[in-house]
A and B are shown apart, each in its own frame.
Chain A
Amino acid sequence: MEVTLNWYLMLSAFLFVIGVLGVLFRRNVIVILMSVELMLNAVNLTLVALSQHMGDPTGQILVFFVISVAAAEAAVGLAIIIAIFRNTLTVDVTKFNLFKY
């Protein structure tokens, strides 16, 4: 069977959903960051697949932008996590709660 466009799109969708579920349900904040990266990469895959399918390189150029932004955002996110860790000594997201009740 031939690998058509739909296969790529479905793969991206699955990856994206796995990323979303990871963000929503994982406790470790570093794993959440990884899930965010996963979501970004899923989108990259979509863009490249569609770009190849339509023959228009615009999608691939956008992927360049997304990759660089993702890198920057990962760096900043990790810096924030380190700052929080220095204060709370935990990477459990449910513990980052200043509410009294």
Chain B
Amino acid sequence: MNPSTLISLILLLPLAGALFCGLGGLFIPAMRQREGLIGFVGTAVVLVPFLAVLFLFLNFDGDAIVVDFYTWMAAGDLSVSFAYRIDQLSLVMSLVITGVGGLIHLYSIGYMHGDPGYWRFFAYLNLFIFAMLNLVLGDNLVVLFLGWEGVGLCSYLLIGFWYTDLKNSAAANKAFIMNRIGDFCFLLAMFLLFRELGSLDFDVLLLEGPSLNEGVLYLIVFLLFMGATGKSAQIPLFTWLPDAMAGPTPVSALIHAATMVTSGLYLLARLSPLVIAAEGIMAFIAIIGALTAIMAATIAITQNDIKKVLAYSTVSQLGYMFLAIGVGAFFVAIFHLVMHAFFKGCLFLGSGSVIHSMHDVENQLAESGDAAEFDAQDMRTMGGLKKFMPSTRATFLIATLAIAGIPLLSGFFSKDEILFRAFESASTNGYGMFVWIIGIVTAFLTAVYMIRAYVLTFEGEPRWPKAETVKPHESPWTMTLPLWVLGILSIVGGYIGLPGVLARGDWNLIHHYLGESFGGPVAEVHTEAHVALSTEWMLLALGGAIAIAGVALGWRWYSKHGPAFDEIIRARFGWLYRVAEGKYFVDEAYDKVIVRPVIGIAEKGFAPFDKYVVDGLVNAVAFITRGLSFVLKYIQTGIVQTYAMAFVIGVILVLALMLFG
């Protein structure tokens, strides 16, 4: 099978699925109830591309395959075509997208059961997969941007899926608008690149980009990073992600954990030669990543909504990935991206399973009239779920330990690699040590807040009303199967990136696959300094120890006290806790400094302009027409002879013109 057909298959199947579910559901109302059909088609159009990508992956021989389908636009010096590239980086990303995406589609069959918008959900989800694949497979920045915007759109559609509740629509708007700010920076970067290099194809950019004049290059990379902060929820554009939890949980798992939020990282990894050439911006990226990581981690400890904890956790882990990029270890960022997709996907799907059960509890309570203030997502009314949901509990625990960085699970390898690279780079740049320290502290916090989430949800005694009679239940196989698959991947996934202490890095498969020094597409910083082997082992041990300590302490604190432990922390840390709980008041700050003034300008400046000037002009035109018609209407008398008179006058005029003109 030639690559061109496979690529068309990979890209067009999800699109076809979206059209089938979307247009079918729209125009054929009877189809909306056929959940089986929609669910099957919707999932199949993602799993078949997964098999195709797998085939390409297994048969990949090291040379990038570029397929150019047709010219999209050619205007002047600009020629952009629908060209797609298969290389190590795009294969890894596509495997994650179609694989984890396929699992989440399967999960959604069970999760969205009974929802009247079932068909819309699968249509949007398939459209998302299509856009995301365009993003990672594109061979030029324009196709990437097409995918970039497409995933932003689908994110908006899916966050605001239950649009009848205005809160959800507001959250969707927030996500989209913040994304747009990032996109604006991205566009500026694209314009600059085109102006400097005359093309937006990756071969040209990667070849000639790094040799650009430093000032322009710094600006371009800075703008690209700003675009990435919008998509990947870093400071300053991260506040949309916690709000995005208003969408259905599979959406949170797919878009806001495994795929869309990784677009920014992919962009920087793809353009890694350019990023590396802009050293000052690398420092900026690393510091922003580190600060975001620790900030989000401190907020996560204070949150009571299980999905919000996971959302801030995602922001924090993305911060780690940007930290990795900032110290020049691009492939490690991708490594952590893949691991994160596994364990965060598992965590989100697990939380969805829990929420699904708690909704059932809520319905049971509602029947007996007790559900007044019950929030299905609040961990304070959970507890003891391990008795009722064994599969969910087991996989959630596995994923929690993985993200905490417990040795030999996937998160341990990737997170440790990031910290090691940061430490190693400290000898050649001034910020490595700073971000390393922040990384270590955040690792501890990560372990604590994640085990807190686990313990409050699954351990202890049930804390919801009428717990003796009202019992939750485990979710159906369509939901637990993906949990188990992702759970197992969270355990074994890390083995593709064994650390350098073993066999001098020869067993670090992902490094060999992606890294530039081995012929891969992702650039790296070449450090001359070499950290002693014993130091490497110590760092590994330190990382493991912190993870174990965090998990152990967190377990003890929260098992013993339950949610009351939060009060102990609050008393101990006072105003620090209040700041973290208030999410550092970033939303409030943005509201006061940006949103209110803009709304003010709109209300006081543009609205009157629109009402009086623009509408006034339009009304004036109508007014004049009316006035004219008042005068002209008398020409139509209805009497035939007047018309004949007009005839005759016309003839006389023409004759006169002919004779005397």
Chain B CB within 8 A of A23 CB: yes
Question: Among the listed B636, B639, B645, B648, which residue makes an inter-chain contact with A93, where contact means beta carbons less than 8 Å apart?
Answer: B639
In the complex, chain A residues 9-27 whose Cβ is within 8 Å of any chain B Cβ: 20, 23-25
Residues of B within 8 A of A25 (CB): 641
What residue in chain B is nearest A26 (Cβ atoms)? B641
Residues of A within 8 A of B640 (CB): 93, 96
Assembled-state Cα–Cα distance A24/B641 (Å): 5
Assembled-state Cα–Cα distance A25/B641 (Å): 7
Residues of A within 8 A of B639 (CB): 93-94, 96-97
Distance (Å) between the CB of A73 and the closest chain B CB? 16
In the complex, chain A residues 84-100 whose Cβ is within 8 Å of any chain B Cβ: 93-94, 96-99
Contact with A along B626-653 (1 / 0, CB 8 A): 0000000000111111001100100000
Assembled-state Cα–Cα distance A89/B645 (Å): 25
Asked if B638 and A99 make an inter-chain contact with CB atoms under 8 angstroms apart, the answer reads yes
Residues of B within 8 A of A23 (CB): 641, 644
How many residues on A have C-beta within 8 angstroms of the other chain's C-beta atoms? 10
Asked if B644 and A24 make an inter-chain contact with CB atoms under 8 angstroms apart, the answer reads yes
How many residues on B have C-beta within 8 angstroms of the other chain's C-beta atoms? 9
Assembled-state Cα–Cα distance A93/B642 (Å): 11
Distance (Å) between the CB of B631 and the closest chain A CB? 15
Assembled-state Cα–Cα distance A93/B637 (Å): 12
Residues of A within 8 A of B645 (CB): 24
Question: Among the listed B636, B641, B644, B648, which residue makes an inter-chain contact with A99, where contact means beta carbons less than 8 Å apart?
Answer: B636
Question: Among the listed B636, B637, B638, B648, which residue makes an inter-chain contact with A24, where contact means beta carbons less than 8 Å apart?
Answer: B648
Distance (Å) between the CB of A32 and the closest chain B CB? 8
Contact with B along A26-51 (1 / 0, CB 8 A): 00000000000000000000000000
Assembled-state Cα–Cα distance A23/B646 (Å): 12
Assembled-state Cα–Cα distance A97/B642 (Å): 12
Assembled-state Cα–Cα distance A99/B634 (Å): 12
Assembled-state Cα–Cα distance A96/B645 (Å): 17
Assembled-state Cα–Cα distance A98/B639 (Å): 9
What residue in chain B is nearest A23 (Cβ atoms)? B644
Distance (Å) between the CB of B632 and the closest chain A CB? 14
Distance (Å) between the CB of A61 and the closest chain B CB? 26
Assembled-state Cα–Cα distance A84/B151 (Å): 70
Distance (Å) between the CB of A76 and the closest chain B CB? 16
Asked if B648 and A97 make an inter-chain contact with CB atoms under 8 angstroms apart, the answer reads no
Asked if A98 and B638 make an inter-chain contact with CB atoms under 8 angstroms apart, the answer reads yes
Residues of B within 8 A of A20 (CB): 648
Distance (Å) between the CB of A27 and the closest chain B CB? 9
Assembled-state Cα–Cα distance A17/B87 (Å): 92
Assembled-state Cα–Cα distance A24/B639 (Å): 10
Distance (Å) between the CB of B634 and the closest chain A CB? 10
Assembled-state Cα–Cα distance A93/B638 (Å): 10
Asked if A97 and B638 make an inter-chain contact with CB atoms under 8 angstroms apart, the answer reads yes
Residues of A within 8 A of B648 (CB): 20, 24
For the complex with contacts A20-B648, A96-B639, 5 further pairs of A-B residues with Cβ separation under 8 Å are: A24-B641, A93-B639, A96-B640, A99-B636, A99-B638
Closest 6 CB pairs of A and B: A97-B638, A99-B638, A94-B639, A24-B645, A24-B641, A24-B644
Report 11 cross-chain contacts, Cβ distance below 8 Å, ordered by A residue. A20-B648, A23-B641, A24-B641, A24-B644, A24-B645, A24-B648, A25-B641, A93-B639, A93-B641, A97-B639, A98-B638
